[in-house]
């Protein structure tokens, strides 16, 4: 019995330049990794309305079992942003995880597998979409405070018994 080695390929150049012909794609694993070119990244900055500064790095794996491609990996970006709280400029580094399934046959598409209606898979366009979808619209320089503000309302601390009692709020209001 002859065991064949699964097909593997690596693209270690600017990821936005990788184009893959889906019809002739062999089953196997394809690695796409590298730094995004400065010109491509700065064009993206213009689309996002941020200063043309920063950089991006991509590492994604395309696992192909015709006619489905499972794309996993991440895109790391750093943009110069302005904090919505302090208005200070800062370097906003983000990691956008990727876990997508694509197919180029309509009958194979479902809730988890998107139909891709092109003959060529444009890695640069896919990466652009992932960055745009993960882009934080409200950047905060100090993320340790993100998620809420503690405000003292003058009420007594609520006990566990009060938490279980649906009328505990009325009791607190009566006290004030």
Sign of CA dihedral 43, 45, 48, 49: negative
Q: Is 108 exposed, middle or buried (0-12, 13-18, 19+ CB in 10 A)?
A: middle
Single pTM value for the model: 0.75
Q: Write out the two tokens for 17.
A: 């330049």
Quote the mean pLDDT of the chain.
Answer: 86
Q: Which residue has the higher pLDDT, 156 or 89?
A: 89
The pLDDT assigned to 9 comes to: 82
Spatial CB neighbours of 34, under 8 Å, sequence gap ≥ 6 = 11, 12, 13, 14, 15, 57, 58
pLDDT at 28 over 90: yes
Whole-number Å distance between alpha carbons of 174 and 176: 6
Q: Quick check: 1 and 22 in contact, CB under 8 A?
A: no
Mean pLDDT of 115-133: 95
Q: Quick check: 62 and 29 in contact, CB under 8 A?
A: yes
Reading across the β-sheet that carries 54-65, which strands appear in turn? 7-11, 28-35, 54-65, 68-82, 89-103, 113-115
The pLDDT assigned to 74 comes to: 97
Domain range list for the chain: 7-175
pLDDT band of 165, cuts 50, 70, 90: low
Q: Which residue has the tokens 């619209």?
A: 137
């Amino acid at each position: 019995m002859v065991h064949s080695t699964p097909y593997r390929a690596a693209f270690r150049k600017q990821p936005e330049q990788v184009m893959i012909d889906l019809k002739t794609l062999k089953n196997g694993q394809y690695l796409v990794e590298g730094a995004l070119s400065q010109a491509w990244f700065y064009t993206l900055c213009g689309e996002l309305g941020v200063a043309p500064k920063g950089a991006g790095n991509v590492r994604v794996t395309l696992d192909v079992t015709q006619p489905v491609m499972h794309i996993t990996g991440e895109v790391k970006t750093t943009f110069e942003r302005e904090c919505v709280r302090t208005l200070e400029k800062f370097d906003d580094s983000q990691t956008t995880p990727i876990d997508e399934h694509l197919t180029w046959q309509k009958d194979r598409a479902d809730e988890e597998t998107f139909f891709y209606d092109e003959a060529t898979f444009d890695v640069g366009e896919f990466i652009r979409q992932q960055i745009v979808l993960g882009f934080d619209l409200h950047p905060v320089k100090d993320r340790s405070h993100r998620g809420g503000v503690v405000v003292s309302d003058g009420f007594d601390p609520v006990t566990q018994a009060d938490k279980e009692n649906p009328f505990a709020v009325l009791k607190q209001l009566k006290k004030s």
